[in-house]
Amino acid sequence: MKLPVGQTVRAAYATIGQHGRRFLVIAFILTIILLSMTGVVSALAVKATDDPAMLSLIDGLAWILIAPLVTAATEIHWLRIFIIREEHSGSAYFRFRLRELRYAAVSFVIWASVTCPYLLAYQSLFQPSFISEASQGVLLLIYAAATIASIAVSTLLAAWLSPLLAAIAVDGERQSAAAIVQLTRGHRLRIGLVFLLGYEVLKIPTIPFELLVGEALDGFGLWNIIHVTYSMWLLFCYVTVTAEVYWELDSGQQVRDLGLVFD
């Protein structure tokens, strides 16, 4: 049976609508932790160099390295709540063991791949000679291209890696790339569509927001706190879609395996 795209997307939005507001609190806490840690890195970088392009690159790399470690426990707890009905526990948001480390390693691949188009674009945008010569239209075109590339890469990776994240989170049997390839075979396009419709569209508000406030997205400023909090809340949406996809695929696989037993 093929993954039901519409049904899965509707189920994800129902969960987001039911629980989304309460997770804003957790998103805000994650924001404060992330901004504090990346702020320390930025302060050290400022002392090491005054090159805007290099500072932008260091900030981007800091997010890629730090964010998966900070959010791993939270994402795992959400997945375990959604998939195996684990009881909610405040301490679970802060535990870090081998499971969280493995999850963070896979998340790092996703964060790095999705962020790279932005880093490349920002590297170009921060070159003084380029800024002086390029028109506003060209700058916006580069930003739009980076956004589209990021969304495309994010959707593609979601189709391949999201079930692996879920399997690691719930201590499932399929915690290898080969097992996930087998599980998602014939479903990857549908998984991509689910993530495109159930998650990527929720990123759209960030595009005009980033263009309007621009340079204000730095440090502990109000606009940056709002922006990062929304980004952290989007993780809840990503995890919700991941849980729905994994549940549909894994339960379907269990039914097929049961059929083989009785054949």
Residue with tokens 């599980």, as numbered in its chain: 183
CA distance 261 to 112: 42
Q: Identify the weakest region by mean pLDDT among 28-42, 130-144, 237-251.
A: 130-144
**Higher per-residue pLDDT: 168 or 129:** 168
Contact 37, 68 (CB under 8 A): no
Mean pLDDT across 230-251: 91
Structure tokens at 63: 């997010």
**Higher per-residue pLDDT: 26 or 250:** 26
Query: pLDDT tens digits, residue range 187-218?
Result: 888 998 999 899 988 988 887 787 777 667 77
Q: Report pTM.
A: 0.81
Query: pLDDT tens digits, residue range 75-118?
Result: 999 999 999 889 888 888 888 889 999 999 988 888 777 776 66
Residue 41: partners with Cβ closer than 8 Å, 6 or more residues away? 58, 59, 62, 66
Q: Look at phi and psi of residue 96 and say left if phi exceeds 0, alpha if psi is from -120 to 50, else beta.
A: beta
Q: Identify the weakest region by mean pLDDT among 108-112, 135-139, 153-157.
A: 135-139
Residue 117's pLDDT is 63
Mean pLDDT across 129-135: 55
CA distance 131 to 147: 19
Residue 5 pLDDT grade (very low, low, confident, very high; cuts 50, 70, 90): very high
What does the H/E/C string look like for 175-240? CCHHHHHHHHCCCHHHHHHHHHHHCHHHHCCHHHHHHHHHHHCCCCCHHHHHHHHHHHHHHHHHHH
Q: Identify the weakest region by mean pLDDT among 122-126, 139-143, 157-161, 208-212.
A: 122-126
Query: pLDDT tens digits, residue range 243-262?
Result: 999 998 887 554 344 333 33
Residue 213's pLDDT is 79
Structure tokens at 255: 């039914």
